[in-house]
Amino acid sequence: MDTRIFLIGFMGSGKSTLGSKLARRIGYQFMDMDHLIEETAEMSIPTIFNEHGEEVFRKWEHDILVELCSREQLVIATGGGAPCHSQLMDIMNANGSTIYIQLSPEALKNRLIRSRTERPLIKGKSEAELLDFITGLLGQRELFYSQAKYIVKGVNLQTEELARLLVDS
């Protein structure tokens, strides 16, 4: 099994929840990139976007991910946009196993509506606007996400299934 497992996918696809369960199951440490960025910057993600802008956020995201690539036995939940910026998809594929958790725009919309995490890219959108936004952005991001080593369907995905996938490969 690779020493780094990267979970990738759109906002709301369940990367953090699955990632922490998977890490426990395989005895790896769990890392949530968004939390690491917030800890390092001593600022929430919405504040980073407001005060520094998305470009700076992407730079910090890149730096954190590169730093994680020097550590071992990690399950890493990446931010939804990470694989689509700064060559990070290539960097992840070169440094571990990437797993894309794939959900439909409709399923993502329903999960994001219920989520309490504040996400600057979707703040203030109505349900219809949100569905349009997800459909458009997911269309662009699929080009990157689909370069993952494994693609798994996110609905009803079990930790055990993920663990087996990694062990059997």
Could you tell me the smallest distance in angstroms from the CB atom of residue 45 to ligand S3P? Answer: 5
The contacts of residue 94 (CB under 8 Å, 6+ apart) are: none
- If the CB atoms of residues 25 and 85 are measured against ligand S3P, the closer one turns out to be 85
Q: In the complex, what is the shortest distance from the CB of residue 19 to ligand S3P, in angstroms, rounded to a whole number? A: 10
Please tell me the distance from the alpha carbon of residue 74 to that of residue 61, in angstroms, as a whole number. Answer: 17
Strand partners, 97: 5
Q: Does 80 bind ligand S3P (CB under 6 A)?
A: yes
Greatest Cα pair distance in the chain: 45
Query: Is 81 among the residues that bind ligand S3P (CB under 6 A)?
Result: yes
45 or 69, CB closer to ligand S3P? 45
DSSP string, 83-152: GGSTTHHHHHHHHSEEEEEE--HHHHHHHHHH--S--GGGTT--HHHHHHHHHHHHHHHHHHHTTSSEEE
Amino acid found at 20: S
Which one among 25, 35, 111, 119 touches ligand S3P, defined by CB under 6 A?
A: 119
Q: In whole angstroms, how close is the CB of 166 to ligand S3P at the nearest point?
A: 21
CA–CA separation, 26 and 108 (whole Å) = 27
Site string for ligand S3P, 139-158 (x = CB under 6 A): --------------------
Contacts to ligand S3P from residues 9-28, by CB under 6 A: 11
Residues that bind ligand S3P (CB under 6 A): 11, 34, 45, 79-81, 119-121
